[in-house]
Every structure is written in C-alpha cells, then in structure tokens.
Structure 1
C-alpha cells in the first residue's frame, strides 16, 4: 500500500516535472532568447540613430554654404576681427546644433592638413586625429567611429566613452579643406549598453563589415582589432546574439547565461522541495492509513483465530470506523450463525445415533412378523387351506417390499408387481368386489421411480372411491411426447368435492388425516417433490358422482444429487 501511494505521488510529480521542465526550458530558450535578441536589435537601432543624428548635425554645417564658406574664410584670412566674427557665428550654429540634436556633444573644426582644432564649442585637446579612432563603417566619405575616449580637454578617466563622426569638407573655390568632428554626448553609450536589460552582466561588441572588433566592453577576452567568430567565445555555455545593420556592421552581445541557468536551477530547487514535501506527506498519509487499516485487520485476524479455535463467544468490539464496524458486525452475525449450526449439527448427530438404535429395535418386529407368517403359511399348506396360503403369500411379499429391502428406487415393473400383490390381497379381503385394470407401456417398465408411490394412490381409490360392487380401478403408465412419464390411477367411484380434494393434500404444517397403512397421499406428494423438485406432484381431478383421477407426471430420472438413502 505504501509503494502504491508512493508511486501514485511520484508518477504525477515526475510527469508534471518533465512537462514543466520542457515547457520552462522551451520558454527560456525561445521567449528569453527572443527578448535578448530584440534588445540587441534595439541597441543596433539606437547606435544607428546616434549615427544618423550626428550625420544630420554635421550636415547643418557641412552642407550650409554660408557656414562652410565662413569656415574656409576663417582658415585663409588673417583679419582678427573677421575671424572673431566668424568664430561667433560658427559657435552660435554649433550651440543651435547641440540644442536641437539629442545626441550631439563636442563639435570641432579641424585643419585639413595637421588636424589641429580650429573651431570648437567646448574645450578640447589641441589636435584630434579621427584616424586613430576605430571605424565602425565609412559611408560617402563619412567615418562613423566606435566608442572611444572623448576629446574633451578636461575629461576624467571614469567618464563614459563616446561615438564620433568625421567628415572632410573641401571648398574648391577657395582651395581649402577642413574636417568636421562631432562626438555624441556622455549619456548615449550608457543608455545603449546597459546590462540590466539582460538580467546579468554581458559583453557588448561592435563589428565592422569585415567582422573585426572595433569596440569591446571586455578587451581582455575580445580585444579591439581581433576578428570575431562565434568560437571566439571560447566556452560552450556562452551565448551570443547578433544584429546586422543595413551597412553590414553588427552589434554582438555575449553572455554567460547565468540568468538562464539561475532560473532553471531556481525552478529545479523549488520542484525538488515540492517533491520532498509530497513524499513526506505521502509517507505520513501511508502511516495513518496503515494504522487505520492494519489495526482493524489485526482485530479481524484475532477474531477469526478465536472462531477457528472454537472459543466461547466473546463480547463484540467496536473499531469506530463505520466501514470496518459494519463488516465486523456482519462477521459477528456469521459467527453466531456458524455456532448455531454447529450446535444444530451436534444435536442432529445425537438424534441420529438415537434413531439408529430405534431403527435396530424396530427392525426386530418385522423379522418376527415374517417368521410368524412363514410358520402360519406352512401350517396352512399342511391343512390344505389354499386361500389362507395365497393371502399370506401376498401379504409377505407386500410387507417385504414396503420394508424397503430393494432400496429407495425401483423400476416401474417392480412397483406394478407390488401393486398387483396388493390388489390381489385386497380382492381376497373384499371378496372380489372391484376390478383392476393395468396398462403399462413396455417403454416405461425399465424407468426408475421412487419406491412406494402407486400403492397409496390405489389405496385412496379403495377407501374413498367405492360404495358399490361395480368399482373399477384403472392404472396407466406411459411416456409422453416430451419424454416425461405419466402415471394415472382412476376410479369410477362416488367422486369428491373441492373441499375433500384439498383435504387429501393439506399444506405443510396443517393437520393431515391418516389412511390405510398410515402413509397416505401427502407422503407420496412429499416424496415426488423431494426427488424431482417442487414443480412436480400429484394432480387430483374429481367430481361428485363421476369418480376420481390421480395423476403423477415426472421426468424419466430424478434430479441430480439425490442419494439412494
């Protein structure tokens, strides 16, 4: 029972665990990875927006002919007042660009020959060489640079890196050229490369179209200038996600997957705790069920042992469990009935012993009568009293037959032979005052029937059927179409009323009259029902003044299990 309870608890939990793990794993593999991939795409879109914003800001200077011309004049004129005015105009435009562009930071004009800073909107270093900064992509002569330290003259080491844009502007009319240098502000990179979006620290990479690393948040593992391949992550449990821009530069995020593993481990630990709790609860319930079932079973076992040892009836016990109390109550009732049956069997065995003694004693009288009759028969022969000899001969055969020397069953021919002796004896007694007709089919003579079923029927016809000297008794035995044996005893006597017919075969328990030799029709009725079943018996048809017909209809064999006792 405990094993079944454990299996019934573990099996659903195991199935639930497998399904939950596969679903959870699928969710993390698909949903979480898709979310990370979307964040990588958002990073790429954010960088692309920064580049576009800086490009738009640069266009406001490079493509503005007036500003561009003033910058060319500034590079070629020696007039200090004119330069001052041009500086104010350019710085005013730079301030407007900073105000209108959310990502624009430092804006500087570099000399086309030596990269010295000519004009700027913030304090910067004297020389800015964009070629020293890694290039993410170069489009139409415009270089988009990966994050690098700012050119701010007063920059601190802890300040975030910045994106930058450089474009060369040439004034063919004045034969001058300069570089427009524009940086993103300090907030751009931290807003993009934020590890909180991924749930754990990650490594951000920027790759140029050739697959070279131009920016790495972990230069120890992924140095700038190295070639990126997925195998370069070096560990199998690392996960990487990529997003590709229209210009084929890429953003890559490399993560160890600790958040993924942590979620799986947290789920696994919770599931293990649930399993352990379920097992503990299952064992507790099994122990309670064991006590609830085993103890009543012990009571049953002890009660059965006492019953087998035939101990005296003890007081009944209550288990205070309705189901067991009901079963135990039925057991006590069965025990009472069994003890009653045992006492009844003992009583019957004692009665049977007494009956055997009585039977032996009553057998003495028939033997004495036989011996006496044989003596009378011998004396009658000596005295030549033939009538007395025939009378004693018939009576001796009838007595011998009725005492059951042939057993409980005889053939029809034996029953007919005994009946003829009985009729012959009665004809002597009544001086041949009636006639006897016997019709027996040869097919029926060998059929076995209970002994002593015909004589009481004929006896009833003699005692109740005749009041004159023209009486006729007809005995018929034949086989019917369905195989049953039909025996009829009919007389042409005075007949009987319905009440008289009912009195011949009273119901069980009613007082019954005794006729003839004290056996009568009720004996034959009970004999037939005992050997053939309750659906068989004697049928009586009689009307006053028209005689009586007694009919027995039985199968050609007695029912199974009937002993010849």
Structure 2
C-alpha cells in the first residue's frame, strides 16, 4: 500500500502546518515585547544587569569547577583500581614477588591488558603506568613514552595523603604531542617497594573541554590556585605559574588587579578557581546588556517567554514522537502502532517511515529464510559426502579375512559393517546417545581389524544420559580423529559422557596418541581439508562443529586441546533437549 499525501499550498493557511505555526509565534513574540516595552529607571537596570553579570560569571565558574572536580574524582577512582588494594595492584604485587619467568611474563601481560581495558573503558583518560620514583623509570616501558618524565616538575594542585594532583600542565610523556592535561600520582603499597607509584593523566581533549566549559563572552581567563596560595595554572600572562596569588579586594565578591576583575570559586579541599576578566570587557558586557534590556519591560519579557515555550512545545513534541519511532526500529520492533502528531509535515514523514519499516522487516525475513535454507543444504551435502576409500578399505579387510580365517569372522565383520553403514548413511536428524554409542561400538570393531596396532576404547556414560537426544553422527568423527592422528600399539581412547550443570550434555574424547599442532587442528576444522577425506566417512571434525553451531548456536561449545607428544582431548558441550527434559 502506498500513501498518497500532498503538502498544503500557501493559499490555504492552516495552523496544522509547522511552518505557519512558527511564523505566527515568531511574529507575536517579536511584536508584543516591542510594543509593551516601557521605561525602567537607569539605576534599577544597572543594578539588575550588574548582579546578573556577576551571577553569570559565578555560574560559569561553578560549571568549570564541577567539570574539574569530576575529572579529579575520575582520576582518584581509576588510581584506586591500579593501587595495591585494587585488582590490578594485587596482580602487580604477585608480579614482583614471583621468580617464575613464565608466570612473571603472564602477569605482566595481564597487568598491561587490564590497564589497557581501564583506559578503554575510560576514554577521558590518557597515559597511565607504574614507575619508580627514585629512578623515574617505567615498570612496563612503552616505546611511545618520553624519557623526560619528571612529575616533581609539574605544578602541584592538591596533596591528599599518598595522592598528588598536578596541573593542568603540559605533558612531557608523548614524544610528538605537546598538550595540556591533568594528572595524579599515587603510591602503590607493594611490600618491599616503597618507591613504586602509579601515574595517570587525562586525555588532551578532556582537559580542553574542562578549561573551555566557561561559555561567557567576556574573554575570561582562568587561574588555579593551590592551598599554599600559589598559582598552578594560568591563562593570563599577568599571573605566571608558580607566583603567589595576592589580589586586592574591590568589593564583596569581586577582587581587582591592575587591569582586571577577579572572581573566585573556592573548594573545600583548599584550592580555588579564579576567573580573570579584563575591566574593559566587563564594562562593555554590562553596557551591552543595559542597552538591550532598557527596551523591554517585565511584562514584555514574560510574554516573550510564553511564546518561546509555545515554539518549543510545537516543535519538540512531534520530534520526540518521531524519535520514539526510530528507537522502535533500532530495537527491531517493526510492528509498533503508529501515532500521528496532527501536524501535516510530520504525519507525512511518519507514514513514509512506517512504509520503510515494513519493507525492512520483509527484507530481513527474506534474508533469514534464505540463510536457513542455505545452511540446511550445506549440512545435507556434508552428510552425503561419504568417502569411497572407507568402503574400499573395509572390503579389502573382509577379503583378507576370507582368505586367512573361517566364515564366522567374516559374518561378524559383514554384520558390523552393515550396521555402521546403515547408521551413518541415515538422513541426519537427531538420535539418542544409546544409539550413537552402539554405532560407535560397531565402528570400533571394524577399525580394530583395519589397523595393524592394538588399541583400547573405553566408554563411560551415565545411565541418565543414554536416552538424551543429540545430533546424529557426533561420536564417530571424534574417535576416528584419535585413531588417525598418531595412535600406536597399546593406545588408549577414553569417551566420557555426562550431564553437567543440570542443563548441558558433556562429551569428552581423550587419547594418548602423538598429539597435533595448532596448524593440524586448524586444517582439520576447514571445510575443504584433504586430511578428513582420507579416512572414514570423510566428514570429520568440521561436520561436528558445523552441526552443533547450526542446531544450538552460541549455546554449544567445541574445544580441541592437543600438543605434540601429549595426546589430544576433544570437549563437546551441548544443551539438553528441552522437550525431553520437560517430559522428565
């Protein structure tokens, strides 16, 4: 179905049009204040504007201070994670205590990974590392870090116990970048290492955002003064870093220097933030506000605010509703009811959006169905890729037995072969663990005759799992892999089947053969592996992995652990059959 909708022409003026509403509201909100503006005394306006300017400056200062406090708090929080009592700090203590080279190397990588994870989850932070304070050397050197790291040269903002906050200051860590950052050092109380510290600094962009949070238009510069009344950061050349901060009082709340007014915002910890505003800019801003507000009366301001609220309500509500529809699409909710806004332009877009959403849903269903059919075809194809070499080798073995032994053994061999072929050439689907074990037993008997070495296969299965449903043809490829890769005389293959955690079937096949390398494992798991076509049914481990992934998705797990000379262990975990579990 296609929506037919046309926009209204200018001849039919309707307040249902967003454009017409905006024009009407703006005309009224502009004309009414101009007509109703009266004369208010000069001294009253001066007093109001001056108080407003001061309040605005202090409000902007508090905004910058809050951003700075949040940044320092974040530095403190991250430093706690890297200290001795934190997760990373405990690993660091183990790193220094152990003499095992392999364990030390693993701990070092874990510490670096955890530090990188903390940095990744805190995008507002930059460099963070451990260092020795006496030698200024890094515990885990990085090629991008400068060798000129001397934190004692940074301006100290605040000292709290074993923590020292610096800055803002120019970073000396990066070899190619010179930007302003905030930083902190914290002592790490690792036994035997009294000189071990952690250093953390903010990202360059965060520090710029904090210092530029003041949105006033009076060219304000900022100073940071520590608890010793020394300037640790300055944006004004008249107040150099490291000098004492000694302004003269002008009047309540305002201090004065030679050519500027200073507004202070102290903090409970002893440091304070100062805004330095040139006297010329301060008076110019005040006069500008006076010239603007002398044209309006209190009533005109009230009317302007009412119409401004009307404009916001007119635009905001439809946009909010449109945003909700987009979120519904983002959450894959393709069938939520469509709610109109009673504004022609927005309703037109909503109907188009609804049509697009319906088309997307149909396309997704089509793609999903195609992928499902493709997967089913691939699995069926794998099931029927029976390797003729297996049948040829088995028939050769039967012929050899016919020549060397009596008819009874030939009968047994043919019977076992028929059962294996009948079971393995079934058309997929599920089976029980009991039937899978019986087919595996017949297969093992055939392989005992085929191979010229002695081996033992033991199967341990709990009684309560024998009736569980599993995909067909799972055990045989696992055992076949053990026989083919490095099995010799007196080889042992153990098969363990049990229920774990009350909701998974665990299958573990272990051998004491020659083992495999990682490259061998990857080659066996490939779809077009030549090795898997040389033995048995020619399907192998790729079939097992593909089957459980298709049927159980991420709920299933298939792992292979092997080393040359140490045997191979294959672990398979699949969820229990939910229908059968409900019956029990």
Q: What TM-score, normalized to structure 1?
A: 0.41
Give the greater-gyration-radius structure (CA): 1
Q: What TM-score, normalized to structure 2?
A: 0.39
